[in-house]
Amino acid sequence: RPSLVIDALHLYASRLMRPVWHWPVCIPKDDHPPRDGLNIEFRYDESDFKLIASRVRRLLTFIKDNKEAVLTAARAGYVSTYTATTTDADGTARQDRQKVLDITALKGLQILLGVALEALAVFELASSAQLSEESVFKILRERMTKKGE
């Protein structure tokens, strides 16, 4: 299991992304009948996606700029625990395993945030005035249906 510091970064990232992870991005329109079988609209507008993306980008930049400090803070939490409860050789081995786990978890978080930024950019484009026409959604749906066949 990753250290508490790494868990805290994951939790913060999930809170930043909660609006698009927890609730549907598109919702049904109730105010008019569907055209071309589509009756959806974006829950958020372009500025909402930009705001979420700027916060995610800030977290990603923080992690990249302070990677060693984050790993050092994570290490401080488990070094004292392992040296107090185990022998030196076993404690060192556990510390090494924990360090690898923390590095892997931090790298995974960076990848996740990068993918989240890409998804937010797509949502931002699709929700902008230029691409909000239902015909665009129809084309996207047709292309996705063809890929699934």
DSSP 76-95: HHHHHHHHHHS-HHHHHHHH
- The ranges assigned to domains in the chain are 4-148
Identify which has the larger pLDDT, 30 or 56: 56
Mean pLDDT of the chain: 78
- Is pLDDT above 90 for 108? yes
Whole-angstrom distance, CA of residue 109 vs CA of residue 7: 10
pTM: 0.70
Closest CA to 13 of 50, 57, 67: 57
Which residues, at least 6 apart from 91, have a Cβ–Cβ distance to it below 8 Å?
Answer: 82, 83, 85
User: With 70 as the cut, is the pLDDT of residue 19 above it?
Assistant: yes
Q: What gap in Å lies between CA 42 and CA 45, rounded to an integer? A: 7
The model's confidence at residue 96, banded by pLDDT at 50, 70 and 90, is: confident
Residue 129's pLDDT is what? 53
Report whether pLDDT(13) > 70.
Answer: yes
Q: What is the mean pLDDT of residues 113-137?
A: 73
Encode pLDDT of 40-85 as tens digits.
677 888 889 999 999 999 999 999 999 998 888 888 766 555 554 5
